[in-house]
Amino acid sequence: MSVHALPRIAIYGAGSVGGYLAARLHEHARITCIGRRRVMDAWRLHGLDWSDLQGGHEHVAAKEVELQINPFAAAKAHLVLVTVKSSATETVASELANVVAPGVPVISFQNGLHNAEILRAALPGHPVLTGMVPFNVLQRVPGDFHQGSGGELMVENHASLAAFHPIFAAAGLPMIARNDMASVLAAKLLLNLNNALNALSDLPLKDELSQRDWRRCLALAQREALDVFAAANIHPAKLTPLPPQWLPRVLEMRDAWFRRLASRLLAIDPVARSSMWEDLQRGRPTEVDAINGEVVRIAAQHHVAAPVNARLVTLVHEAEQARRAWSAQDMLAELHHALL
């Protein structure tokens, strides 16, 4: 890479996170987005818009970002970001293995615990690094991306990213280098257990988390996951002002006490919703198997039960076929019944 040239960053995955990162990074790097034809066509027509809960916003003309459907568009990249759903990771890994230049770093900015491992197995000649996106991004209409909550990107500490940290920081997306990304991903998974509940509630995240019975549902899922993690000797990192083990107890508090103690947890834009809600809204398969389903898999490996998360997996798959908006009271009763 020339000292004076802008680096090339390929973003494989044209969803909410991929589009948002592209829109934010485009002034500081040459960005190539790789995604489905219908999505790329929509972005070509409308361009990209990003906004955040601090009031920042920008329109990016389509010509400012290279929009491609062919994985070979990543051939000249100096850095590759993978933002596809977990179910597509194996396919993307095999495609990138035939394309990306030797030694080019690859970051998995995906939900779930094992995506970097899958990419690493297919890309032995590359630094394949685990990343984590802490904030919610909603694509309200094609090409319009809104960051609805706070937090900073986290990424596995590696020398190959030294030239890219200033680029992300200049774009307002600083990447925090971590040496404990396995624990970070476990903590993110714990928080992402709410994605299923939010999708099934058909409510904005802030409205959902403002209702105690929805929080009690999340507390059941998180407490179960923490027990499963303990059986598997998995130690989630502290990503919120509260230690992970405290979260279920705080979620169960009455509304007034919860608002007082956990006000930072509710620093969410009123329009923000989970990516799983967006998938149901658009008739797409969800990532529930890589989130709640991961808790169920780990539980089975260590001979412990995870009936709450297993039930949520089933309910989301049912909603993929026929949507139903649950009330908090009905969901709480459903999850309590799963525990019997």
| Domains of the chain in sequence order | 8-179 (3.40.50.720), 182-339 (1.10.1040.10)
3-state secondary structure of 13: coil
The reported pLDDT for the residue numbered 103 is: 95
The reported pLDDT for the residue numbered 147 is: 94
Spell out the residues 6+ positions from residue 277 whose beta carbon is closer than 8 angstroms to its own.
195, 198, 199, 202
133: tokens are 């996106």
CA distance 159 to 1: 16
Measured in residues, the chain has a length of 340
How do strand 57-60 and strand 8-12 relate by DSSP bridges?
unpaired
Residues in the chain, pLDDT under 70: 1-4, 263-266
Decide if 296 contacts 162 (C-beta within 8 A).
no
CA distance 161 to 79: 9
Decide if 176 contacts 155 (C-beta within 8 A).
yes
The reported pLDDT for the residue numbered 268 is: 80
E strand residue ranges, the chain:
8-12, 30-34, 48-52, 57-60, 66-68, 79-82, 106-108, 128-132, 137-141, 144-147, 153-156, 175-178
